[in-house]
Structure 1
Amino acid sequence: MRPSNAAAAGLAGAVLLGTTSLALAAEEHGLPGATMSLWWALPFIGLLLSIATGPLFYPHLWEHHYGKITAAWSALAVVPMAFFYGLPVSAEAVLHAVLLEYMSFIILLFALFTIAGGILVAGNIHGTPLVNASLLVIGALMASVVGTTGASMIMIRPIIRANDNRPFNAHVIVFFIFLVSNIGGSLTPLGDPPLFVGFLRGVEFFWTTTHIFKETLLVGGIVLAAFVVLDVVLHLREGGMPKIKDPTPDSKVRIRGLANLPLLAGVIGAILMSAAWKPGISFSVQGVEVELQNLVRDGIIVALALISLVVTRKEYRSANGFAWEPIKEVAKIFAGIFICIVPVVAILRAGMEGAFSPLVEMVTLPSGEPNDLAYFWMTGLLSSFLDNAPTYLVFFELAGGNPQELMTTLASTLVAISAGAVFMGANTYIGNAPNFMVYAIAKNQGIRMPSFFGYMAWSGIVLIPTFVLVSLVFF
């Protein structure tokens, strides 16, 4: 699979980010969740499974027909919905989702993808345990600013070059996925898809920074320590082996495309502006209210992305393997997820009266309070296979879906949901957007990466015990 297609496969998971406000759409537009059966979840589940399995098990079919597959699942959702509940209700629900969430999120994703793709780390240094650990820390910190996908795109090739003359180097990429492509993105809504879902739903921008910092520090610290120990042992073993000629000799490291850094800052500023500035002005489009601050935010973000395209030299993007196909795939699948999840969230919002009542019981204590431990593990385990963003949405709604309550009286529950979704997205190649992208790029560069189940063995040995410890300490 070409790197660009690998990026598409990885970024396909990110299409799930904007599904948040469909919960509101389902309720406001009158879908009777309490009377809807589990059959309404079939299109949503089918599309998720297609996204999860397509790039891995039937990549050529998926690559050429993912748009048709997405459209088919979408039709299975919207046609029966229009038949049973009326065309006006169904059409308004879709328009509500497209105008208020789809456009805003795809614009943000386009901007982060474009701007981060213009930042190039050129040159090379030797991949010693200290250097590798430093690169992982830098990448993990970067992930909460430019997103796990952006950080992975920027840092994966430098870390591959640093270790391309080592006999043992696959473990470096595995831990890169753990730390940079997942755990590092836990501190802001820009970092990881589920957290942006929460931001769109009403969670404050810096809430995750202050509330998940301890969990992130513990998980990240343990995983980084495990990497250092393993890398030191393997590095010592390599000392007695025949030397491999370095295909990329050490050279001075330079950061190219620095003009993109203030553009990234501008994107963050625009998002913060939209959260703080509430002029009370909105525009009605077929009954859907679009607020002025969101229009201004989206306009600024689009402008910043276009500026990046103008000021960044083409050779920098070429060296990063930059291509437009990933964002095209995101846009198509994103639309399908928005449509397919509408009836699912309507059922979830019905609580114990809906068809998902057994799931509600599993995450509720006998006292009626949320079971934070169950939320952490159920969100996490499902995030490992079905992508973490829609899983976050499901359990966010199960916990009541009220952002003000979840940020205050139920803060520990929101922490459990957020941590489970972000951290355990690292458990498989398909748990989070950039995982498979990193795998494919590394494999294309000649690194003998573990198979799908081989990678799960790594996560089972390193991550699962870490998550058990986190459960004991925090949940």
Structure 2
Amino acid sequence: MASIVLATTLFFPAAAWAADGVPALSGATLSPLWAIPFVGILLSIALFPLLAPQFWHHHYGKVALFWALAFVVPFVAQYGAGATTHEVMHTALLEYIPFIILLYALFTVSGGILVSGNLHGSPVMNTGLLALGTVLASIIGTTGASMVLIRPLLRANDNRRYNVHTVVFFIFLVSNIGGSLTPLGDPPLFLGFLKGVDFFWTTTNLLHDTLLVAGILLVCFYLLDRYFYAREEGLKPVPDRTPDTDSISVRGLRNLPLLGGIIGAILLSALWKPGISFKILGTHMEIQWVVRDVLLVAMALISLAITPKIIRERNGFDWEPILEVAKLFAAIFLTIIPVIAILRAGSEGAFSGLVQLVTGPNGEPVNVWYFWLTGTLSGFLDNAPTYLVFFNLAGGDAHQLMNQMAVTLEAISAGAVFMGALTYIGNAPNFMVLSIARHRGVKMPSFFGYMAWSGVFLLPCFALITFLYFL
């Protein structure tokens, strides 16, 4: 701890004070060294699960706490406890808490829906399941759709020798690309919603991108699955671990109205404007935001109360994934505070080089770079904080981004959601699906082996939409 405090001498921030006494960061004078904790937590998330999985599994919370303190302690030393409390509460109340509550609600309710029985993994059936999951991802989230459908897909293909490609394309489509059409679909889009992006903006503006990429991938998958399916003809059949005596059924249907309630709560907060607001430690809050979060928690608690425990047990449901997300993103949302302040300073801030890269000679945004930089970093770090970085780099004004800069916001949104599929670590459901598939005996490719798949099938799709929409 002492070394962290001593490290504050390397930082040279300046604080401005608003007229109402609320401290405001001056990003123009912040040192780029303030980005070290943010980069540290993202690299830890990217590398520890690969290089030291056992250590990470047992100590990821401590790692997150270390990087959070690496920001908070120097911040307190330089700004004082009052300014620190304001910044932390502002981020927690407006971004982190609503973000975690939505993930908790979707995770809990979708975990109460069990698809049981046996499907036969023919090319048509598998393609249909992937298409269904792609649609569901924007309705119940990429996490929800992945957890509901991955086990039925694995059971459908447990008597096939060649099934790795099925899980890989599932990650492409269900765990990532399918979640591009609503704020419910993928965490970065919900953060955009919290920043003021209209609920149906992505539905309208990303529909053509999503249909094109998803359509190409579904066709590629069908042709590939037909090829592998044909190779199995004449070979000795693999025993089917899910006998046909298990009829197809969906249990936990009482959770479906709760999923509708989650959607309704989000829409309510977007459409209902009673004009009632208040402040908590200098942070402006509106009553509809509080009502939304209370309703989301209520939906999750109702799901826990009305869903038989056997359904969650057969789904392999446990709280570890959502606890991991909560701990890691607490550190991410804390450490990103000075990064966003520097980005908001634009050409006057320490990251002016990045600003120049995404800005043309006449000050116009270079949408190609917004798409590829947002996407590449999303694939190797995490798409939610990456979205926030480039959203703020583009000005951070949701109204302007939705209108005069609509293509720029489209590029940022598509890059964050689509390219989260480039690696196992680009989006939370990717690693969850990988773990479940390996547990079921699927010989999934290594980290770089998976990247070979994504390079062959995803990069040409991204190059195509770059040529069509962002040049």
TM tier relative to shorter chain = over 0.9
Task: Find the partner of 1:323 among 318, 322, 328.
Answer: 318
* Greater displacement, 313-322 / 282-291: 282-291
Q: How many residue pairs are counted as aligned between the two chains?
A: 449
Aligned to 2:14: none
How many angstroms apart in 2 are the aligned matches of 1:424 and 1:335? 23
Could you give the per-residue CA deviations for residues 301-352 of structure 1, whole angstroms, max 9, x where no partner exists? 1111111011111111111110012222222222211211111111010100
How many angstroms apart in 1 are the aligned matches of 2:221 and 2:132? 15
Could you give the per-residue CA deviations for residues 189-209 of structure 1, whole angstroms, max 9, x where no partner exists? 000111111101100000000
Q: Secondary structure at the match of 1:154?
A: helix
Aligned to 2:295: 300
Task: Find the partner of 1:207 among 196, 201, 208.
Answer: 201
Structure scoring higher RCO (CA < 8 A, sep ≥ 6) equals 1
Pairs within 5 Å for 1:142-161 = 142-161=136-155
Answer whether contact 2:423 2:447 (CA < 8 A) is retained: yes
Q: Secondary structure at the match of 2:285?
A: strand
Note if 1:446 corresponds to 2:435: no
Q: Secondary structure at the match of 1:252?
A: coil
The alpha-carbon deviation at position 286 of structure 1 amounts to 2.5
Aligned to 2:11: none
Task: Find the partner of 1:237 among 231, 246, 265.
Answer: 231
Note if 1:429 corresponds to 2:399: no
Question: RMSD across aligned C-alpha pairs, in angstroms?
Answer: 1.3
Structure 1 residue ranges without an equivalent (≥5): 1-23
The alpha-carbon deviation at position 85 of structure 1 amounts to 2.2
Pairs within 5 Å for 1:67-216 = 67-216=61-210
Aligned to 1:252: 247
Aligned to 1:10: none
Aligned to 1:20: none
Pairs within 5 Å for 1:344-423 = 344-423=339-418
How many angstroms apart in 1 are the aligned matches of 2:412 and 2:280? 34
Structure 2 residue ranges without an equivalent (≥5): 1-17
Q: Secondary structure at the match of 1:167?
A: coil
The alpha-carbon deviation at position 367 of structure 1 amounts to 2.0
How many angstroms apart in 1 are the aligned matches of 2:343 and 2:61? 27
Letter in 2 for 1:212: L
How many angstroms apart in 2 are the aligned matches of 1:190 and 1:447? 29
Q: Secondary structure at the match of 2:208?
A: helix
* Greater displacement, 362-371 / 144-153: 362-371
How many angstroms apart in 1 are the aligned matches of 2:51 and 2:256? 38
How many angstroms apart in 1 are the aligned matches of 2:142 and 2:23? 34
How many angstroms apart in 2 are the aligned matches of 1:288 and 1:200? 14
How many angstroms apart in 1 are the aligned matches of 2:48 and 2:286? 37
- Percent identical among aligned pairs is 61
Task: Find the partner of 2:58 among 49, 55, 64.
Answer: 64
Could you give the per-residue CA deviations for residues 393-427 of structure 1, whole angstroms, max 9, x where no partner exists? 11111111110010001000100111111111000
Task: Find the partner of 1:263 among 258, 276, 286.
Answer: 258
TM-score, normalised to structure 1's length?
A: 0.93
How many angstroms apart in 2 are the aligned matches of 1:462 and 1:338? 32
* Greater displacement, 414-423 / 58-67: 58-67
Note if 1:225 corresponds to 2:219: yes
Note if 1:291 corresponds to 2:286: yes
The alpha-carbon deviation at position 53 of structure 1 amounts to 1.8
How many angstroms apart in 2 are the aligned matches of 1:416 and 1:285? 34
Letter in 1 for 2:366: N
Answer whether contact 2:138 2:182 (CA < 8 A) is retained: yes
Letter in 1 for 2:155: R
How many angstroms apart in 1 are the aligned matches of 2:90 and 2:388? 17
How many angstroms apart in 2 are the aligned matches of 1:218 and 1:322? 34
The alpha-carbon deviation at position 287 of structure 1 amounts to 2.6
